[in-house]
Structure 1
Amino acid sequence: MHIGKNIFPQLVNLWTGNYKDLNAGLRSYTLGSTVFQAIGKACAFSGNTIPSAFGAHVPNIATERHKFIAETWFLFATMIAPTVLYNRFQRPLYYQHFVELVTIFNICLLYKLTPTDIDELEQCIVRWVEKYEKYNDFTVF
């Protein structure tokens, strides 16, 4: 889970234009503040519909990100984000790329992985990173 605790917050920072000193460069992967506020409200409201057996209540990601822990990042990424991010990016490839990461993350959590599964997973991770570098052409301020 701690891998997700590192990468998911960084992606959110990237999508909101708050990742280090980088802007969107030539790409259009940032989410507008109105969109992100709506996503935050959906996160907070999701606690009313997701059973507690699935994990902790996910706070409003737009206003209460400081309350996120590994568990809530995991719930956000795997259960909430695939729905609330759908059709939110200007280009669908950014959403698809995120879903690929969630798929990789879910595979890592399987109870049993064969050596072949691990080899395929490694290739998936390499492809994801290559796409990340291609899709996110960063320009330093």
Structure 2
Amino acid sequence: MNLDPAIRYQWENIICVGLIPGPRKPKNFNSFMWVYTEELLQAARGVSTYDAEADTMFDLHAYAPLGSGDMPAIASAFTCTKNHNAKHPCRFCSIEGVTIVNTRNPVHYVPMTRPAGYPTNPLKAETLQSISHDEFLTRANLVDHAPTVNHRKDLAQLYGINTTPILSRAPGISFPFSFPSDFMHLLENLMKNYVLLISGNFKKLKAGRERYVIPEKAWNEIGAATVKANATIPSSFGRRIPDIAKDRTFFTAEAYLVWFTLYAPILLRDRFTRPKYYKHFTLLVNIIHRLLSIITTHDERAALRRDIVKWYEEYEQ
């Protein structure tokens, strides 16, 4: 497409990179990403290409500013960072996870407000600072040049980075922001866990001092109403939703999204023991709608961030 005299052509393409999943994934993904990186370097330098309209040759330059995939794939192949169960699981900030005390469970959790008996978290959700590109590569370089193997392991755990990604050689890529979070799985897991929590089925976790769990009888009514509502909702709005009380086996990210944003605001009304739980739920629905907006302003994003922090803090309570 014709643009500016200095930028004559521009289009977007997707390059599919096949990755080997676990448990037998490569130990050194950089060796596999070398070929892809060399292709990106050649594309950035320019490839002689024929312009049929002008009947002339020109140097075609291509860049890959964004990379996407599920969370383990991005961590292993693109950013060489720790996975989402690590002590420092986030490639964007310095949040620190903790294990459950007095257990052998190796999984780390990242509550901002930690229970009694755990170290106090010095970080706050509203003031989490992002790591810059230069800081990310500085930390990776410190891991690479650690004087001993044990020191390298300690630094890798501290920074959540295993080594310098080979993709850092490719122009146009900025760490960690060229590799945004896997929004689909983040949203799906959040909605799935929320349903498990308010139905009283989340990892056998009790409600504690709160009373947000919806009784089984009410859930059965909600599930039946979900199935019945399918007949009156246009197919263009989304797929048909199974009985959410009895059959969540085939619930996909789309199914949860449709149920949360279209069905649940009606079906969950007056189902909670206290209005504050429904209000908390509708805030989540409002956040999801705004996250899916195609165009937003700076002020709208700032307000969205405040509401996300508010919802998260209420969720931990």
Q: TM-score, normalised by structure 2?
A: 0.41
Q: Rg larger in 1 or in 2?
A: 2
Alpha-carbon distance in 1 for matches of 2:304, 2:208: 30
- CA deviations over 1:83-139 (Å, ceiling 9, x no partner): 0100000011101100000000000111101122111111110011111112xxxxx
Q: How many residues align?
A: 134
Residue of structure 2 aligned with 1:106, choices 289, 293, 299: 289
Alpha-carbon distance in 2 for matches of 1:3, 1:85: 23
Q: Aligned residue for 2:191?
A: 8
Q: How does 1:59-138 map to 2 (within 5 A)?
A: 59-134=242-317
**AA at the equivalent of 2:196:** N
Q: How does 1:33-52 map to 2 (within 5 A)?
A: 33-52=216-235
User: Where does structure 2 lack aligned partners over 5 or more consecutive residues?
Assistant: 1-183
Q: CA deviation at 1:44?
A: 1.0
Alpha-carbon distance in 2 for matches of 1:16, 1:108: 25
Q: Aligned residue for 1:18?
A: 201
Larger RCO (CA under 8 A, 6+ residues apart): 1
Alpha-carbon distance in 1 for matches of 2:274, 2:286: 20
SS of the residue corresponding to residue 56 of structure 1 reads coil
Identity %: 39
Alpha-carbon distance in 2 for matches of 1:66, 1:45: 19
Which consecutive aligned stretches of 4+ in structure 1 deviate over 6 angstroms post-superposition?
Answer: none
User: Where does structure 1 lack aligned partners over 5 or more consecutive residues?
Assistant: 135-141
Alpha-carbon distance in 2 for matches of 1:86, 1:12: 15
Q: CA deviation at 1:66?
A: 0.8
Q: TM-score, normalised by structure 1?
A: 0.91
**Higher-helix-fraction structure:** 1
Alpha-carbon distance in 2 for matches of 1:38, 1:6: 24
Alpha-carbon distance in 2 for matches of 1:46, 1:37: 14
Alpha-carbon distance in 1 for matches of 2:246, 2:187: 20
SS of the residue corresponding to residue 232 of structure 2 reads coil
